Amino acid sequence: MRLALCLAVLASVVSHAGDERMLNIDVDRSNVRFTLDATLHVVEGTFALERGYLVFDASDGTLRGSLVVDGNTGETGNAKRDKKMHGKVLETSFYPNIVFRPRGFRGALAPSGASRVQVEGTLKLHDDEHPLAVAADVEVELVGTLSAP
């Protein structure tokens, strides 16, 4: 079985100190896309982000923060499959949130505009944590003028 995840994240830099930047996630313009190999076909779908922030340091590739996915928003375009996913697989009535806590990234993150990086961290699902590496399409939109403290 193969599961591929891709984070599409639009973030605004809200603070800047040296090589460290704090990003607020624009949840209305961000999502999680997944692809899952199934018997004789491939399942694709999306989840919406509920909230999130990231703090990254371009000098050493560290990344921390939290991305909270609203498990109830998961959809694949097939109502029967989605009902099973929510009821039996994710159990979203008991575990409505899926939380990804990054710890690092690989690749070049542009100070503004689009970048694609590999993010590593842990995924909390059903109150259990699992290591996870995910490709992330990041769009950084600068808001206002930044100055070092």
Flag whether 147 is in a domain.
no
Q: Which residue has the higher pLDDT, 47 or 8?
A: 47
Q: 89 is in which domain, residue-wise?
A: 3-141
Q: Is residue 146 part of a domain?
A: no
Instruction: Assess if residue 148 is contained within a domain.
Output: no
Closest to 47 in 3D by CA, of 9, 13, 84: 9
**Does the pLDDT at position 59 exceed 90?**
no
Does residue 113 sit within a domain?
A: yes
Q: What is the arithmetic mean of pLDDT over 124-131?
A: 92
Of the listed ranges 44-48, 64-68, 141-145, the least confidently predicted one is 141-145
In a domain, 40, yes or no: yes
Q: How high is the pLDDT of residue 149?
A: 47
Residue 125 lies in a domain: yes
Q: Is residue 131 part of a domain?
A: yes
DSSP string, the chain: --EEEEEEEEEEEEEEETTEEEEEE-GGG-EEEEEEEETTEEEEEEEEEEEEEEEEETTTTEEEEEEEEEEEEEE-S-HHHHHHIIIIIS-TTT--EEEEEEEEEES---SSEEEEEEEEEEEEETTEEEEEEEEEEEEEE--S-----
At 98-110, the pLDDT tens digits run 999 999 888 887 7
**Number of domains the chain contains:** 1
- pLDDT at residue number 20: 77
At residue 109, the pLDDT reads 74
pLDDT of residue 1: 41
Per-residue confidence (pLDDT) for residue 146, from 0 to 100: 42
Cα separation, 39 vs 6, in Å, equals 22
Residue 28 falls inside a structural domain: yes
Which CATH number covers residue 79? Answer: 2.40.128.110
* pLDDT for residue 134: 84
Task: Check pLDDT > 90 for residue 111.
Answer: no
